[in-house]
Amino acid sequence: MSVTYVDAILQAQEKLLRDDPRVFLYGQDISKFGGAFKATKGLADEFPGRVLDSPISEDAMIGMAVGAAIEGMRPIVEMQFADFSSIAFNQIVNQAATHFYRTGVPVPITVRLPSGGTPGSGPFHSQSMEAIYSHYPGLVVVTPATVSDAYSMLLDAVALDDPVVYCEHKFLYRWLKAPRINGDGLPIGKARITRPGKHATVVAYSAMVHEAVRAADRLKEEGGWEIEVVDLRTVKPLDIDTVLASVARTGRLLALGEAFPWGGVTAEVVARVCADGFHLLDAPPRRLNSRDTPVPYHPKLWAAHRPTPESICIALRELLSF
């Protein structure tokens, strides 16, 4: 038996519904149907009245969750795809994110965003929205990359009194498996050294952690390079201490992300390392992101749009040869 990434999300929600009467789930097709990705499969039967189908109204879904949270509930909203959260943008960044600062009343909502590209999904079912939401004060944005993090970070997200944008990567849903859920107890806001090394640091998050590890394995075989991979886990707040400690060990930084290249998480990482740890760097830091186009539909184009182990290796070789 093994547990997939999406199983972990399902199990976390089951545990939350079982343990906490304040928790309920709201989203499109999540009730009897079990959700577009089956992340809520069976929960409507197990918890009647607490797993509710919503109309196709992303704005109202988040507004509803904010209202319920004001009244003491802990709603989890499933956006069918992260891309559609653009319709809910106003309620997320203006209603939910400002609420505690303005009124002193926190709104503990968790917004699940099925994020990132999969082959054949195209421009409107593939987006990575973490940078957009991280930009706004008042939101916590998490990007679990492992089965155990998918589980524990969802529990932690719901426990947090603030609105959490939980970016779950669709590519990992069924591809990523673990023998069992076995968390290391790292809280939201702490990064993890996924793979220790000494010649260069790759800072990644979500599905790109796995691509970084593949690239690191190749460079190890190829030239004995020891690449350290840091999994941010949470992009807001950013655990810059762990990143700086890694750069202090390696002297070289590649910030890696699947999102569009302008601004974003990788730019933030590079900016902070330059500002706070310029003296630690032995080479100019590098960024690697997707290409600056919408996410293409055809699998061949898609595979070349996002960073791959090949493109990561190229970036790392350049970094190492400086």
Partner 1 sequence: MPDAEEAQRTRVGLDRDYVRDVFRAMLKARLLENKLSSLYKAGKIVGGVYLGKGQEAVSASLGASLVKGRDIFAPLIRDQAGRTAFGEPLIDCTRTYLGSVLGPMKGRDGNIHRGRPQEGMPAMISHLGAAVSVVGGMLMARRMKGEIAGTVGATCVGDGATSTGAFHEGVNMIAVEQLPMVIVVSNNQFAYSTPTERQFACEDLLDRARGYGLGGHAVDGTDVLACAEVVGKAVRMARDGAGPQMVVANLLRLSGHGEHDDASYVPGELRGSHLGRDCLENGIAQLIADGFSTAKEIEDWKAAFTDEVQAAVAQAQQEPTPDPWHEDWRACSSEPATGEDSP
Report the interface residues with partner 1, using CB under 8 A.
24, 49-50, 54-55, 57-73, 75, 87, 90-91, 94-95, 97-106, 137-138, 140, 160-162, 187-190, 234, 236-241, 268, 271-272, 275
State the Cα–Cα distance between residues 254 and 286, nearest whole angstrom: 5
Two tokens at 73? 């509930």
The amino acid at residue 208 is M
Closest CA to 174 of 5, 10, 2: 5
Q: How far apart are CA 17 and CA 40, in angstroms?
A: 11
Nearer to partner 1, 3 or 17 (CB): 17
In 3D space, the residue among 270, 252, 253, 261 whose CA is nearest the CA of residue 288 turns out to be: 261
CA dihedral 177, 178, 179, 181 (to 10 degrees): -130
**In this structure, are residues 230 and 239 in contact, taking their beta carbons and an 8 Å threshold?**
no
| Contacts made by residues 97-106, CB under 8 angstroms, sequence distance 24+ | 97/136, 97/137, 97/138, 97/139, 97/163, 98/137, 98/138, 99/66, 99/70, 99/138, 99/163, 100/138, 100/161, 100/162, 101/137, 101/138, 105/70, 106/69, 106/161, 106/162
Element (H, E) at 114: strand 110-115
φ and ψ at residue 9, rounded to 5 degrees: -65, -40
Q: Which is nearer to partner 1, 150 or 213 (CB)?
A: 150
Q: How far is the CB of 63 from partner 1 (least distance, A)?
A: 3
- Closest to 252 measured CA to CA, from 228, 236, 234, 268: 228
The dihedral sign for the CA sequence 271, 277, 283, 289 = negative
- 99, 125, 169, 305: the active-site residue: 125
The nearest distance, CB 240 to partner 1, in angstroms, is 8
Sheet of 164-169, strand order: 51-53, 23-27, 74-78, 110-115, 164-169, 140-142, 234-236
**Closest CB 49 distance from partner 1, rounded Å:** 7
Name the residue nearer to partner 1 (CB basis): 70 or 314.
Answer: 70
* Beta carbon nearer to partner 1, 68 or 256: 68
Q: How far is the CB of 114 from partner 1 (least distance, A)?
A: 20
Question: Does the active-site annotation cover 125?
Answer: yes
Closest approach of partner 1 to the CB of residue 103, in Å: 5
Q: 233 vs 306, which CB is nearer to partner 1?
A: 233
Q: Least CB distance from residue 87 to partner 1, whole Å?
A: 8
Q: Give the residue with the Cβ less far from partner 1, 4 or 90.
A: 90
User: Which CB atom, from 4 or from 86, has the smaller least distance to partner 1?
Assistant: 86
Q: Residue 286 is which amino acid?
A: R
Q: What minimum distance in Å lies between the beta carbon of 138 and partner 1?
A: 4
Q: Which residues does the annotation mark as catalytic? A: 125
